[in-house]
Amino acid sequence: MRKSDLQRLSEYLWEIPADYRADMRVPARLYASEALLDEVLHDRSLEQLINVATLPGIQKYAIAMPDIHQGYGFPIGGVAATALPDGVISPGGIGYDINCGVRLLASDLHEDEARPYLEDLATLLYQYCPSGVGRGGHFPLSKKEIERVAVEGARWCLKNGYADEDDLLHTEEGGCIEGADPGAVSKEARDRGREQLGTLGAGNHFLEVDVVRTIYDGAAAAAFGLFEGQVVVQIHCGSRGYGHQIATDYVRAFQSAVHKYGIVLPDRELVCAPLNTPEGRDYLAAMRCGANFAFANRQMLAFQVRRAFEDVFLREGLPWEVRQVYDVAHNIGKIEQYEIDGEQRTVCVHRKGATRAFGPGRPEVPADYRHVGQPVLVPGSMGTASYVLVGTNDAMLHTFGSSCHGAGRHMSRRQARKAIGGNTLREQLEKRGIVVRAGSLRGLSEEAPFAYKDVVEVVDVVEKAGIARKVARLEPLAVIKG
């Protein structure tokens, strides 16, 4: 791709017209500043976005957020809606880590109160919230229990004393997507997930203690219960080996489905099946199992975070209670309705590295937030700022209610390891007053802040484009990594 191949529709919106390539069914759109666009042109992510625009049943346009980078099939940061009943569903448009997402928890502690105890808190969080490749957790499941988790999601946690009603009210979909069917999930996936509930995993997953440094929107911040100087916690993880195996199984199965249904694709990584076929229905049901597992996983981690806060701060006579602000998914396929060409249509919205960003008044938004809109959680890279945003009505009109999900990589893990050692990075972070607990120095170096795009610029783009609005800026106090 060359920059000249794109048409500039506005300061932060670019389009590749549908006649750019003969097999495109719709245009491809990218939200980006000029500097971010220049960066995108160095990998295959725009080519992947064009490929997405060829999918059967795709509506309006294929969309990329400013944190776009190359992924499997879809670019990460990609959004596409396919019309029911015969539009397709593609595992590559949802991702291998089904319902990877972010949960934000808020305390009543002020930064000054918490700082003397950060070392103890980080140590307990590291102990209570296991991290690392293949790492098991404190809540092993029986064969029957993992099926219940797959169907009930965070409701299973509520029934078993690991959640309260308020947690579920402030989780996307109430922490459970209906229509999950464990019968569509392989034994291998169930076996991989049985030991992993309540674990972080590795890669870019993390648990972070932050301080609310800046409030931009007082009304939205008040609705979300956020104030300057407040100690909060972010949890970033997904469905672990359970969801990864579901994706692996269906990518393999769909290789034959595309031939069975006569689907011609420019990239075999986009394998898919029509939603009204047995294959499409099975994957949708299995994907929902993975999503529910991820909601339960983050809920169990939230339970452990509360345990750590209680252990550290209760004995000091400080506020230790931790409540949930919100939990969002950013690797998921959702059945939603939008007005398209003057009529209401039911579509499957693929969000891969993209966050739902519903505006004010939507019934899916918790009642106490509905007057301002849905919280949108955008974590930065380790050691940089993160943001709380709020969805807008413009997002409902232009991006199928979607926004960015993070900063987005611009350097491979291998390049990051060559650029800095884990020990050096940890020393740099600790000199800035950030407490670090990491199981792998190699893994730490792979997630160096400079390996990612500038989250400030990414967030500025989505705000200036009108698809989300800044509410608060968070800065790290302690980081827990696998």
**For residue range 409-439, what is the model confidence (pLDDT) as tens digits?**
888 888 989 899 989 999 999 999 999 998 8
What pLDDT is recorded for position 263?
97
For residue range 193-226, list pLDDT tens digits in order.
999 999 999 888 999 999 999 999 999 999 999 9
Tell me, what's the pLDDT at 296?
Answer: 98
CB proximity list for 414: less than 8 A, separation 6 or greater: none
* Amino acid at the residue 261: Y
Is 330 labelled as part of a ligand binding site? yes
**Non-local CB neighbours of 253 within 8 Å, separated by 6+ positions:** 279, 283
Listed in order, strand segments (DSSP E) in 197-330 are 206-215, 230-237, 273-274, 322-329
- Asked whether residue 135 carries a pLDDT value surpassing 80, the answer given is no
Lowest mean pLDDT among 131-140, 247-256, 342-351, 403-412: 131-140
* pLDDT number for residue 409: 82
HSE-up (13 A, CA, CB side) for residue 3: 12
Which residues partner with 425 through β-bridges? none
Answer yes or no: is 381 a known binding residue: yes
Please provide residue 259's backbone torsions phi and psi, each rounded to the nearest 5 degrees.
-70, -40
User: Which residues are designated catalytic?
Assistant: 405
Q: Is 110 annotated as a binding residue?
A: no
Average pLDDT over residues 46-53: 98
Mean pLDDT of the chain: 96
The values of phi and psi at residue 443, to 5°, are -65, -35
| Residue 206 marked in a binding site | yes
What is the per-residue pLDDT across 78-106, written as a single tens digit (0 to 9) for each? Answer: 999 999 999 999 999 999 999 999 999 99
Q: Determine the average pLDDT of the residues in 391-397.
A: 97
- Whether pTM exceeds 0.95: yes
Tell me if 331 is assigned to a ligand binding site: yes
Domains and CATH numbers, the chain: 3-410+452-481 (3.90.1860.10)
143 is in an annotated binding site: no
Is residue 407 a known part of a binding site? yes
Question: Is residue 467 helix, strand or coil?
Answer: coil
The residues, ordered by sequence, that sit 6+ positions from 291 with a Cβ below 8 Å of its Cβ are: 98, 99, 153, 177, 180, 239, 243, 329, 332
Is residue 208 marked as binding?
Answer: yes
Across the range 394-406, mean pLDDT stands at 97
CA distance 95 to 88: 15
Phi–psi pair at 389, nearest 5 degrees: -115, 180
Residue 217 three-state SS: coil
Sheet strands (E) in 203-330: 206-215, 230-237, 273-274, 322-329
Residue range 443-468: mean pLDDT, rounded: 92
Closest alpha carbon to 402 in 357, 447, 451:
357
Does the annotation list 39 as a binding residue? no
Task: Report yes or no: 455 and 407 within 8 Å, Cβ to Cβ.
Answer: yes
Indicate the pLDDT class of residue 133, thresholds 50, 70 and 90: confident
Given a cut of 90, whether residue 461 has pLDDT beyond it is yes
155-177 pLDDT per residue, tens: 999 999 999 999 999 999 999 99
- Does 204 show up as a binding residue in the annotation? yes
The annotation status of 405 as a binding-site residue, yes or no, is yes
What is the C-alpha to C-alpha distance for residues 451 and 204, in angstroms, rounded to an integer?
A: 11
The whole-angstrom separation of Cα 62 and Cα 381 is 26
- Bridge partners (DSSP) of residue 336 are 347
Q: Which of 27-31, 387-391, 411-415 has the lowest mean pLDDT?
A: 411-415
